[in-house]
Amino acid sequence: MNEDLNMSMRKFLKQVGVTSQKAIEDAVAEKGGIEGQSFEAKVVLTVEGLDLEHVVTGTIKG
């Protein structure tokens, strides 16, 4: 894999991670906390031109 592609992907994924964490933290704060609760989460990554759809699921627990 070439270095430019690798760095570009890492930069994009870091942005996804940071902005997603902030969005979840804001939603938890708006709800007033989630202690003792859990929520199913799903992220769908699509890359136009590569026919890529990648789904990641998980649980967020308070």
Structural domain spans, the chain: 3-61
Average pLDDT over residues 14-39: 97
Distance in angstroms (rounded) separating the CA atoms of residues 26 and 31: 9
Report CA-CA distances (Å) from 60 to 3, 10, 32: 33, 23, 15
- The answer to whether residue 1 scores a pLDDT higher than 90 is no
% of the chain residues with pLDDT over 70: 100
pTM above the 0.85 mark? yes
